[in-house]
A and B are shown apart, each in its own frame.
Chain A
Amino acid sequence: MDLTSEDWVAITLSLKVAGVAVLFSLPPGIAIAWLLARRSFPGKTLLNGLVHLPLILPPVVTGYLLLVTFGRKGALGPFLESLGLVFSFRWTGAALAAGIMGFPLMVRAIRLSMEAVDRKLEAAATSLGAPPASVFLTVTLPLSLPGIVAGAILAFAKALGEFGATITFVSNIPGETQTIAALIYSYTQVPEGDAAALRLTVVSILLSLFALAASEWLARRVGDRAGAPHA
């Protein structure tokens, strides 16, 4: 199976986009998961709905909303550009789209594992003199690590495969925004492109399987460390 240099560019770009997407969505993902799992506040249902929106909306709609918000002429685009942050038709935009599409999956996994952390342990930490931030860092966070790892890998896999929102928002520019999924799409649009599309499809399947295996392995390892029984 010979991959062309064009294929390799798309593969490394995909990995970069997905990696950056997960890295930057992890902190807000953990924060929002904690808010949803541990706090009650007005607008909680709204926040929960908002987080899940990318899961329900057609990806094209999400991509279009990103375009009108973060595009050059979008609502926030010029302001962000003045800060040196440009999303439109850049790989950073692809990462933003991928991050937002993977966000609901990430938050959901983290939230579930945080909800499973025994609040009585948090109360015990408080009684031992731990201020709220320390309770979170030394008890809640380590005990929900399996869910955080699972959520991150799930979001990574989702980001690798993201297509609709990305192509709507940042188009399909080789070397800049042409990820594996976008390149497969390009191959299917040209005659004689079937073999090339199939090649990348195999790569895509392998990457997904690898991410899944890594998630299982990591979750198990982290679970052992956390002293949790195997599922």
Chain B
Amino acid sequence: MLEVRIRDRRGDFTLDVDFSAGSGLTALFGPSGSGKTSIIEIVAGLARPQEGFVRFGDTVWTDTSAGLHRPAHTRRIGYVFQEGRLFPHLTIAENLDYATRFLPEARRDHLENRARIAALLKITPLLARRPATLSGGEKQRVALGRALMARPRLLLMDEPLSALDQAIKAEILPDLERIRDVEGIPILYVSHSVAEIARLATRVITLDRGRIAGRAPAGLDVQPVIADGEALGTFLSATVTGTLADDGLTVAQSVAGTLYLRQVDVPPGTALRVHIPATEIILATGRSEGLSTLNRLSGRVAALTERETAIDVTVDCSGIPVLASVTRRSARALALEEGKAVDVLFKALAIAPESLYREA
């Protein structure tokens, strides 16, 4: 269990966050400049906050009120940086072994451990080479392996995939899933990619200009609202109940209601996570006939937030907040206000195939 409280003011930017993270992968999500990397550096001990408290398990790592700062090298973390940061003067094997020098208890079986991790990440053929001769994807795999070799109690990953192209990302994502599920190390994962978060995250903490932009309702694992500007939307957890092959549809049940999705080849009972972009949602106040949209969730308006050109409407669908963006004109025409009953409509095809994920 990781507990983090930070208040830090640098120039115009104020970081003010308070969160905790348990097992699985906790994503820190937000646009660049929202303070994600600062948080992860403070957790790692590579940066010191003006005011802050970081506790991992029973150990307090940072407590500025008590003047306590446990040095980074004693925190037993594995840090995967955006740019890999492999040591250029060491071979891949030496890079992997680096942390072992400082871990007496790891020396005994470190060769087996290295073989296992190299196999897990498919980097065994690279062991004798030097970082300069590796491709971007290979470097990032080695960086992952090097962090794992430190036998960390906590893995910190700062946009580990952002410097890679799509094809290589797709190759490494399953590795990250394996690390999350097989190694069982809690992970704090910084990203601004909806696709990565949706696929990997056990829970999401959304950041906006140094603050946590919203909180998941109690009992809900996943922060439902992602406020990224370009990718505003809602994550819904659902379980596949069946497939309508003739219609090319998969049917899934979520707390908010039944979902009709484009057909995916997964057996009934599979847990899915679905990202619904806010701009793809139609709000309806009366019974509307003759529409081609298959999905209709009922709820009540929970909140209205004015943005530059649109109004963000949070609709409470059986306890799940679903975010919809409408124009001011539409909001006026529907006389939207808190408590008003509305239906949330969206097409099955509005859900991009890459935003359907199996639950962790």
Contacts and interface: CB of A to CB of B under 8 A. Distances in A.
A134 B101 contact: yes
Interface string A124-145: 1111111110100011001100
A128 B131 contact: no
Nearest to B88: A227
A126 B46 contact: yes
A80 interface: no
A131 B71 CA distance: 9
Contact of A121 (B72, B76, B87): B87
A147 to B, nearest CB: 14
A225 interface: yes
A228 interface: yes
Contacts of A127: 44, 46, 72-73, 77-79, 147, 150, 156
B211 interface: no
A142 B146 contact: no
A213 interface: no
A163 to B, nearest CB: 39
Contact of A129 (B85, B87, B103): B103
Nearest to A142: B89
Contacts of B156: 127
Interface string A114-128: 000010110111111
A120 B76 contact: no
Given A123-B46, A227-B89, A131 B73 contact: yes
Interface residues of A, number: 23
Contacts of A142: 89
A128 B77 CA distance: 7
B88 A143 contact: yes
B89 A226 contact: yes
A67 to B, nearest CB: 44
B192 to A, nearest CB: 20
Nearest to B146: A128
A44 B147 CA distance: 36
A128 B150 contact: yes
Contacts of B131: 227
B317 interface: no
Given A130-B101, A134-B102, A143 B89 contact: yes
Contacts of B103: 129
Contacts of B72: 126-127
Contact of A120 (B77, B83, B102): B83
B56 interface: no
Contact of A227 (B71, B81, B102, B130): B130
Given A129-B99, A130-B101, 4 more contacts: A118-B85, A120-B81, A125-B98, A131-B73
Q: Which 8 A-B pairs have the closest CB atoms?
A: A227-B88, A127-B79, A129-B102, A124-B85, A128-B99, A226-B89, A126-B72, A227-B132
Interface of A: 118, 120-121, 123-132, 134, 138-139, 142-143, 225-229
